[in-house]
Amino acid sequence: MERRSVIVVAEEMSALPTRSTPGEGAVERRGPQSLPNPQEVVSEESLLMTQPNEADPRAASRRFLVLMADDDPEDCLLAAEAIQENRLGHEVHFVHDGEELLEYLQGRGRYALNPPQLPDLLLLDLNMPKLDGREALRRIKNDPRLRGLPVVILTTSRLEEDVQKCYQMGAASFLSKPATYREWLTLIRDVCTYWFERVRLPGRENL
């Protein structure tokens, strides 16, 4: 059986602050296990192995690339673990603020020498440093090369103003971050199943 990988790019996770107090969007840890330390993820170059999803033969024919823009390293690790535990077999990369997100997508700044390929799906947090997700979304949808990229908002915000504004700017979906690890598993499975097994996406070169 072919083995596939979930590749977690977490170059700057260890430098980011983690939540120290409970609050909106706080995540409940699962069972007796704790999440991997972000420093361990970096030191191991963040390569996690998983099995392909055999529920739909179309999923075995292509490995999709998910880009998650989020400044919370715990949420990034939860998303990566959810992809791994659901055996989805997709590749996931992370950026941690709006400026880095645009540099990644536009192949400039720190990504200029080796521009990454465009993702099939962007999971976008709204509350990030340097450039927040709202402004990042606006710039993405104003860029002719990027405007076809499906953007799913994944945030702690529950403001109706944010919901309306994001849809007006071209977001494909608006989702609230889960409160527990079990909810993360369900959400990531449902998002990937919908976008990669139900929806027909354009090739990355045609975005």
CATH number of 4-13+35-206: 3.40.50.2300
- E-assigned strand segments in 60-198: 65-69, 91-95, 121-124, 151-155, 173-176
Q: Which positions ≥6 away from 31 have C-beta within 8 Å?
A: none
Q: Give the whole-angstrom CA distance, residue 166 versus residue 157.
A: 12
Per-residue pLDDT of the chain (207 residues; tens, 9 = 90+): 443 434 444 344 444 444 444 444 444 444 434 444 433 333 233 333 334 444 444 444 578 999 999 999 999 999 999 998 988 888 999 999 999 999 999 999 999 999 999 999 999 999 999 999 999 999 999 999 999 999 999 999 989 999 999 999 999 999 999 999 999 999 999 999 999 989 887 765 555
Q: Give the whole-angstrom CA distance, residue 126 versus residue 94.
A: 15
CB 123 within 8 A of CB 79: yes
